[in-house]
Structure 1
Amino acid sequence: MDEKLTQFRKLIKEQSWSILQEKLLSLDNPSIVFLIEHSREFDSAVLFRFLPREKAKDVFQELSPIKQGEIISDLANNAKKVADLMNDMDPDDRTAFFEELPGQVAQRFMQMLSPENRSIAIQLLGYPEDSIGRLMTPKYVAVKSFFTVEETLQHVRKFGRDAETLDVIYVVDYEWKLIDDILIRDVLISGSDVRIENLIGEKCLSLSAYDDQEKAIRIFKDYNRTALPVIDTGGTLLGIVTIDDIFDVAEEEETEDFHKFGAVEDAKINPLHASVSFLYKKRIVWLMALVFVNIFSGAAISRFEHLIESVVALVFFLPLLIDSAGNAGSQSATLIIRALAVGDVQRRDWVRLLGKEFVVALVLGVSMAAGVSLVASWRSPDIVPVVALTMVLAVVVGSMVGMLLPFVFTRFKLDPATASAPLITSIADISGVLIYFSIAKWYLGL
């Protein structure tokens, strides 16, 4: 793909427009998205302008918000093209785009929409942020329960062209309340005179427009669905959510948790486009806070200056021991945060997990103590018991901290991913120093 980037960059530089268009249109949409995403702003705009309207719509919806903004800025003087682009977008993708814009800019683009699309956009943007209502699309096919299979297929042929998916057909009553959803496969293999009411199951799985998006992720995963209907409090069918939108949300959630776990404040950082000052501001707060936390490590070490002077070999094993505790804690926290995020573990499960984690940490600590004892027996045989015992206790303490912090954050209604690796490591450092030198002082009698 890097070769293609170089090739298109050269074609733009040489202004070989006919060759560029021919080669560009021979690519599939994912390849075009990659090219535009990884090209410079001017090159991205040139590439996008050569796309026909339908392809431009599909490609634009897959671009990142930053790249979408660059494209719109380039089209600023072409109001018709911007209006066509806004109106052609799928409602859920258009909502996601508007969410990334400043309020005044979003309002300006809203005025470019057709009355129908403007009404849909206002409705979707009226739901709470991170709710299912922001993700749903009104592009679906619904039929009445008294329809026959033949009537249903005629209805699909007439209205299905613009539907987000035709895998599922939705059954509603006269007041548009959801009755059930049925697979198109079941319709196709049934006789033409069979009524839809005879294909209806006992239970219909649906989402509320006000449900959190994370709930949808769990339901899609648990029930292996490609689309789910969205209803209001009265059971009226409002729209549907499809698996591709859920994938996007799940990816954003994982990225957010990953950044928070690494103590990066803003989960939507794109380091390729962000300025140095922006990246600095987003990282300095946590790092400065942890500087002061680590002062306690220094204070702990200073309490044992006499011990260190007497047995200098203790210093050699200090980084190894406290790093092992921090690594064990980070491992434990990663497992718990993921389990909490996907719903495998609930807050009430912490007591059961505490005992299990203690046993696992103890076995890990003993295994690592055996390894560090071999090193210590070669370098400083006289402190082998100190190093071995410290390794066991430090790994156990680090693992306990890593497991418990996410539950503590959840208890106070904070994101468990905020129990980040640097914080766990800092706590493990302090406890590791105290454990190590306290055991050494006791064992050596100094």
Structure 2
Amino acid sequence: MSYIELAADLRSAIEQQDTAAIRHLVAEMQLADLAEFIQHEQEDTTLSLLDYLPLDERASAFGYLEEETQSALAAEMDDATLAELLHHMSADERADLFKLLDEARQQGLLRRLAHAEREDIRKLASYEEGTAGALMTSEYVAVPAEMDVATALEKVRRTGPNAETIYQIYCVDDEGRLTGTLSLREMILANPHATLASLMVEELVVAKVDTPQEEVARLISRYDLMALPVTNGGERLVGIVTYDDAMDVAEEEATEDMHKSVSVGKLEGGLRSASLFDLYRKRIVWLVLLVFANIFSGAGIAYFEETIEAYIALVFFLPLLVDSGGNAGSQAATLMVRGMATGDVRTRDWARLLGREVSVAIALGLTMALAVSVVGIFRAGTEIAMVVAMSMVLIVIMGSLIGMILPFLLNRLGWDPATASAPLVTSIADAVGVLIYFAIATAVLGLPA
């Protein structure tokens, strides 16, 4: 059965209080699907549904929940129940949940955990959010580089059940420094008496504990890694970041950039759980600023009042022209911001991209001018059509250049290029477009400036 069918049946079973059906359906659902279902339920219903799962599966399902839901559910559990849940969670998810709790609750839970778990939580929770240290897990398989394959495989069998992944084996020296890596497949096919040092790959892609999480995701994507090793300042292996965690980071970063592209701040917990006040607060600042930015467009229109009075037909083409400039600028800005985010575009590429953008913008402007000139001739005559066509070319060129240059400028100032959002580019391009249009009209139609 599909998730939609299972969810509908589970909803019906809950309404009918059919315990046997609930137990069966909960067991049938994938843990990620169950987490999606209970995300929308009240805390007491969610906890009762989780109780139908074995403890290890309950811990896994809990890890799929959003932070806000985890925090609310943790508040409903007593310390003993929550400590038992933490014990069965993966190391990185356990640390993430631990950081959501207040300090008094944290101390009470630490007293109920084993010494190794306490130290692991303290270590993982100490790293700054948004870094590889905060993202990594300490559950990995590391073996001495001088160990032979047969002995190493035996160690993998002992430690593998608790590891996040066993497909990549990390080789360390006597002090725990990372010296190389090899795959489980290579170990299985190798001579049992060969040492790992003779088989391992020594040219490694590694992150530091303070490496930004978006850089971690980029490295995993670029080199097609199952997991990325993380070292401390002394090159000692302290954890790994797996590809699934990197995918979550990539999605989070893409969502944040998309929000910025429409002048919306980061929404903690997502759109569905955001409060009305948060939605208002995240949107109002930029909207107010852009209101004042649009005053420049109004000032430009006011400056050319005499031109407008003499040729009222010019007003008909004003929205068409300024919107074209804003649209061209938004396209250019989106391409630049995305290129910079993926590493495809760098600051040193500025001059080469500028030349290309000018060429493309000229071609776009000429094509759009040709299309609009036909409308101009039928609507207002040849002179107005010539003004509109000339304006279209220049406005599209200027809009495209604004959209391309602004992300580079913001990046040079140390700001996020995603701030070069569509509304900001459009507002600037609108003001420039108004000035270009009426300046050309004034000059071509022989009116006083």
Counting only pairs closer than 5 Å after superposition, residues 429-440 of structure 1 correspond to structure 2 as 429-440=430-441
| 1:274 is the counterpart of 2:309 | no
1:24-71: per-residue Cα shift (whole Å, max 9, x none)?
A: 211112221221234455543443333321111111111111222232
Please tell me the residue identity of whatever aligns with 1:358: V
Please tell me the residue identity of whatever aligns with 2:22: L
Contact 1:48–1:71 (CA under 8 A) maintained in structure 2: no
Contact 1:136–1:230 (CA under 8 A) maintained in structure 2: yes
Counterpart position of 1:10: 12
TM-aligned CA distance change 1:83 to 1:335, over 3 Å: same
Counterpart position of 1:124: 124
Counting only pairs closer than 5 Å after superposition, residues 12-411 of structure 1 correspond to structure 2 as 12-39=14-41, 43-73=45-75, 75-76=76-77, 78-101=78-101, 109-268=109-268, 270-382=270-382, 383-411=384-412
Identity within the alignment, %: 42
Contact 2:206–2:229 (CA under 8 A) maintained in structure 1: yes
1:352-381: per-residue Cα shift (whole Å, max 9, x none)?
A: 211111111111111111222222233223
Partner Cα distance (2:278, 2:70) in 1: 20
Contact 1:322–1:428 (CA under 8 A) maintained in structure 2: yes
Please tell me the residue identity of whatever aligns with 1:416: P
Cα shift at 1:113: 3.8
1:192-240: per-residue Cα shift (whole Å, max 9, x none)?
A: 2222122023422221112222221221122111112111222211111
Cα shift at 1:101: 4.9
1:73-103: per-residue Cα shift (whole Å, max 9, x none)?
A: 3x33x33221112222212222333445555
Cα shift at 1:132: 0.9
Partner Cα distance (1:282, 1:121) in 2: 33
Cα shift at 1:391: 1.2
Number of equivalent positions: 444
* Bigger mean CA deviation after superposition, 153-162 or 206-215: 206-215
Counterpart position of 2:429: 428
Partner Cα distance (1:275, 1:126) in 2: 29
1:122-164: per-residue Cα shift (whole Å, max 9, x none)?
A: 1122223221111111111111222222111111111111111
Please tell me the residue identity of whatever aligns with 2:30: D
Contact 2:313–2:380 (CA under 8 A) maintained in structure 1: yes
Partner Cα distance (1:70, 1:119) in 2: 25
Partner Cα distance (1:314, 1:126) in 2: 63
TM-aligned CA distance change 1:360 to 1:301, over 3 Å: same
TM-aligned CA distance change 1:112 to 1:377, over 3 Å: farther
SS at match of 1:265: coil
Please tell me the residue identity of whatever aligns with 1:422: P
TM-aligned CA distance change 1:362 to 1:138, over 3 Å: same
TM-aligned CA distance change 1:68 to 1:406, over 3 Å: same
Contact 1:260–1:267 (CA under 8 A) maintained in structure 2: no
Please tell me the residue identity of whatever aligns with 1:198: S
Contact 1:180–1:204 (CA under 8 A) maintained in structure 2: yes
Gapped regions of structure 1 (runs ≥ 5): none
RMSD: 1.9
TM-aligned CA distance change 1:352 to 1:29, over 3 Å: same
1:288-347: per-residue Cα shift (whole Å, max 9, x none)?
A: 111111111111111122222222221111111111111111111111111111212222
State the TM-score, normalized to the length of structure 1: 0.94
Partner Cα distance (1:334, 1:347) in 2: 16
Please tell me the residue identity of whatever aligns with 1:126: S
Contact 2:228–2:241 (CA under 8 A) maintained in structure 1: yes
Partner Cα distance (1:88, 1:99) in 2: 17
Cα shift at 1:115: 2.5
TM-aligned CA distance change 1:44 to 1:236, over 3 Å: same
Contact 1:263–1:422 (CA under 8 A) maintained in structure 2: yes
SS at match of 2:294: helix
SS at match of 2:180: strand
1:382-418: per-residue Cα shift (whole Å, max 9, x none)?
A: 3111111111111111111111111111111111111
Contact 1:86–1:112 (CA under 8 A) maintained in structure 2: no
* Bigger mean CA deviation after superposition, 215-224 or 289-298: 215-224
Contact 2:79–2:108 (CA under 8 A) maintained in structure 1: no
Cα shift at 1:252: 1.0
SS at match of 1:272: coil
Partner Cα distance (1:51, 1:357) in 2: 57
* Bigger mean CA deviation after superposition, 369-378 or 35-44: 35-44
Cα shift at 1:444: 1.3
* Bigger mean CA deviation after superposition, 59-68 or 180-189: 59-68
Partner Cα distance (2:222, 2:31) in 1: 30
Partner Cα distance (2:268, 2:196) in 1: 46
TM-aligned CA distance change 1:32 to 1:55, over 3 Å: same
* Bigger mean CA deviation after superposition, 326-335 or 127-136: 127-136
Please tell me the residue identity of whatever aligns with 1:233: G
Gapped regions of structure 2 (runs ≥ 5): none
State the TM-score, normalized to the length of structure 2: 0.93
SS at match of 2:327: helix
Cα shift at 1:263: 0.7
Contact 2:92–2:137 (CA under 8 A) maintained in structure 1: yes
